[in-house]
């Protein structure tokens, strides 16, 4: 029957797209990207108190309370379905009968106005976890992030209703009310977070891809969203305060490291003042770094903590 041949054919198209892309990025480069002290932003922010008991009595022990960012995921935002610029994972999100094609209505003319664009999006666990942990431990005790290397958290080809048809988010108040949940500031608005799908009006391809990446990050850092995805969240524990939901324009909820079409070793929120390189193939990728706070366990019972201030 015809449908038996659709997946291998789609996989072949995706593989061809990856092989033919001169601008693809590989896991080795992504792993090296995790060695960024700017993105890490390591700080000692307080003191934790623990009650440690032995057969000889109980004592209060202390440990440093630290704060830093962790590269939880790689978020790819790209035009052609099946052509994730991260070559090793491109086949995770292939062309399917329900998710074919891609592209937008731009003509790549310098004088064109804002036209409808479409971007696929993948959120996949950052491959640099092990190297990053070694890197961060040089500064002191380090926190564990929520992401697992190479684990898919969102693959837009399989999130068809939400990503391609905006169902049900097209009727949400955030999608219907202008000015709500906007990426950017007055005078430099890049686009709205809602509806969290692949279509938006934006003439600048870099900005369009960034807004779509923000949408994907918004979805996976929350529970119970009307999308096909896995939450990228960790549970709080005594002495461990994980990152909460990603919010646009808010560095204290997450920052972005540009990985593709070129690599930056710094992090920022959208909109940023850095160079905004245009990808000829419409394929972009960012590392999503999220803030964590933790302290080393020094006893059986966590008594609390105090902050030293900034």
Closest CA to 41 of 10, 6, 65, 67: 67
Q: With contact defined as beta carbons under 8 Å apart, do 48 and 305 qualify?
A: yes
Task: Tell me the C-alpha distance between 171 and 26, whole Å.
Answer: 39
* Residue range 144-183, pLDDT digits in tens: 999 999 999 999 999 999 999 999 999 999 999 988 899 9
* Residue range 284-295, pLDDT digits in tens: 999 999 999 999
User: What local confidence, expressed as pLDDT, does residue 115 receive?
Assistant: 78
* 309 confidence band (pLDDT: 50, 70, 90): low
In the chain, what are the domain boundaries?
A: 2-42+71-125+147-231+254-289
**Enclosing H/E stretch for 31:** helix 27-33
Cis geometry, peptide bond prior to residue 195 (ω within 30 degrees of 0): yes
User: What local confidence, expressed as pLDDT, does residue 238 receive?
Assistant: 97
* Residue range 82-107, pLDDT digits in tens: 999 999 999 898 887 777 666 655 44
Enter the pTM of the model: 0.88
**Cβ burial, residue 207 (10 Å; 0-12/13-18/19+):** buried
Average pLDDT over residues 120-136: 96
Summary mean pLDDT of the chain: 88
CA distances from 209 to 191, 201, 243, 284 (A): 10, 11, 24, 7
The residue among 243 and 272 whose pLDDT is bigger is 243
Task: Tell me the C-alpha distance between 150 and 190, whole Å.
Answer: 29
Look at residue 300 and tell me whether its pLDDT is greater than 70: yes
């Amino acid at each position: 029957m015809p449908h038996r041949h659709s997946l291998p054919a789609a996989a072949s198209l995706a593989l061809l797209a990856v092989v033919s892309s001169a601008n693809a990025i590989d896991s080795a480069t992504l792993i090296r990207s995790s060695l960024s002290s700017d993105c890490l932003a390591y700080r000692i922010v307080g003191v934790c108190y623990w009650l440690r008991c032995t057969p000889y009595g109980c004592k209060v022990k202390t440990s440093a309370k630290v704060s830093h960012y962790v590269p939880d995921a790689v978020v790819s935002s790209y035009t052609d379905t099946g052509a994730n610029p991260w070559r090793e994972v491109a086949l995770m999100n292939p062309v399917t009968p329900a998710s074919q094609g891609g592209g937008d209505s731009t003509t790549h003319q310098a004088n064109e106005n804002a036209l409808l664009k479409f971007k696929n999006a993948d959120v996949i666990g950052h491959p640099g976890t092990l190297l990053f942990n070694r890197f961060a431990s040089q500064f002191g005790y380090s926190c564990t992030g929520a992401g697992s290397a190479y684990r898919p958290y969102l693959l837009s080809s399989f999130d068809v209703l939400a990503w391609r048809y905006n169902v049900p988010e097209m009727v949400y108040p955030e999608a219907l009310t202008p000015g709500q949940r906007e990426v950017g500031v007055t005078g430099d608005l890049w686009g709205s977070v809602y509806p969290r799908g692949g279509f938006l009006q934006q003439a600048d391809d870099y900005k369009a891809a960034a807004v779509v990446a923000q949408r994907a990050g918004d979805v996976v850092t929350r529970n119970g969203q009307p999308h096909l995805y896995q939450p990228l969240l960790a549970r709080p524990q005594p002495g461990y305060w994980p990152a909460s939901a990603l919010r646009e324009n808010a560095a204290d909820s997450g920052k972005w490291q540009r990985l593709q079409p070129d690599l930056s070793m710094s992090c920022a929120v959208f909109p940023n003042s850095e160079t905004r390189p245009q990808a000829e193939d419409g394929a972009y990728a960012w590392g999503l770094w999220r803030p964590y706070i933790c302290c080393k366990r020094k006893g059986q019972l966590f008594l609390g903590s105090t902050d030293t201030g900034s």
